[in-house]
Amino acid sequence: MATPVPVLRLPKGPDPNSRGFDPNSPRFTALCRTSIPTSAAAESDPVQLQEEQHARSVLRERFLRCLLAMTNRKVHFQMHEKVNVEATFGASDIDVLNFQVSDLHTPIGVQKEALIRCQDVISFTFDI
């Protein structure tokens, strides 16, 4: 296994937390909506609202089980600019905005622990 590279401290941008994680940064508010709102049709009709909520919870539960199945497995991420990296999946945050991964194989070396922004990821694959 490749030796992990030391953690790189990239220069800070103009704002505090300028790497895009700060929830108050303009990039974050523009790109990272935390959830989809209720549809207009459902808002007015309580029966529809209940159905929509049921659908949302079923879908979300299935998605969470997928994330659970992914923990500690090798995952391949396809990112922008044709960057493809491999890492061991750790965890996701509640809004699926950041992934915590270990042993991230990047073109400049292996990062022992890393946080990947989901906005940078196009898709990812893993095998079961």
Based on CB atoms, which residue is closest to other proteins, 9 or 62?
A: 62
Q: What is the DSSP letter of 4?
A: B
Provide the token pair at 5: 């590279």
Q: Report the residue from 5, 15, 19, 34 that binds other proteins according to the rule CB under 8 A.
A: 34
Q: Judged by CB under 8 A, which stretch of 2-10, 21-29, 105-113, 118-126 contacts other proteins?
A: 118-126
Total of residues contacting other proteins (CB under 8 A): 39
16 binds other proteins (CB under 8 A): no
Q: Judged by CB under 8 A, which stretch of 5-13, 18-26, 106-114, 117-125 contacts other proteins?
A: 117-125
Q: Report the residue from 110, 114, 115, 121 that binds other proteins according to the rule CB under 8 A.
A: 121
Instruction: Give the HSE-up count for residue 37: Cα atoms under 13 Å, Cβ half-sphere.
Output: 5
Place of tokens 């270990």: 102
Q: Are 101 and 90 in contact (CB under 8 A)?
A: yes
Q: What is the DSSP letter of 20?
A: T
Q: Where along the sequence are the contacts to other proteins (CB under 8 A)?
A: 31, 34-36, 39, 41-42, 51-52, 55-56, 58-60, 62-63, 65-66, 68-70, 78, 80-82, 94-97, 118-119, 121-128
